[in-house]
């Protein structure tokens, strides 16, 4: 639902398909970067702490079942 809203908003301000692709890539880059897979949730800089709260990819990664491979989990356990 959230992803559809993001892409609909981008398409509303875009003049054509190419421009919509150019506008959505920076948004997706930030969402992927702070999804908890590339940058763990406890390592996100203070200025970007709000991104996981609005990130639909973060919640997908958080609720996904563990992978049957040797890949690290999306959200490593908190130290302590």
Residue 2 has pLDDT above 80, yes or no: no
Answer yes or no: is 75 within a domain: no
Q: Which residue has the tokens 């809203």?
A: 5
CA distance 44 to 67: 23
The pLDDT confidence band at residue 80, using thresholds 50, 70 and 90, is low
Residue 48 lies in a domain: yes
- Examine residue 18 and state whether it is found in any structural domain, yes or no: yes
How confident is the model at residue 15, as a pLDDT? 92
- pLDDT at position 38 is 80
Work out how many domains the chain is built from and give that number.
Answer: 1
Look at residue 72 and tell me if it is in a domain.
no
Burial of 36 by CB count in 10 Å (0-12 exposed, 13-18 middle, 19+ buried)? buried
pLDDT tens, position by position, 41-54: 788 888 888 888 87
Residue 68 in domain: no
- Dump pLDDT digits (tens) for 16-71: 989 998 988 988 888 888 887 788 778 888 888 888 887 877 877 776 666 566 66
Cα–Cα distance between 30 and 38 in angstroms, integer?
11
Report if residue 15 sits inside a domain. yes
Domain-located, residue 26: yes
pLDDT, position 30: 85
The whole-model pTM stands at 0.59
User: Is 42 among the domain residues?
Assistant: yes
Domain of 35, in residue numbers: 2-63
């Amino acid at each position: 639902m959230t992803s559809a809203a993001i892409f609909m908003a981008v398409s509303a301000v875009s003049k054509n398909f190419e421009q919509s692709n150019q506008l959505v890539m920076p948004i997706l880059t930030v969402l992927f970067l702070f999804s908890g897979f590339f940058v763990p949730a406890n390592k996100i800089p203070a200025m970007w702490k709000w991104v996981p709260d609005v990130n639909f990819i973060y919640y997908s990664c958080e609720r996904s079942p563990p992978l049957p491979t040797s890949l690290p989990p999306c959200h490593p356990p908190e130290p302590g």
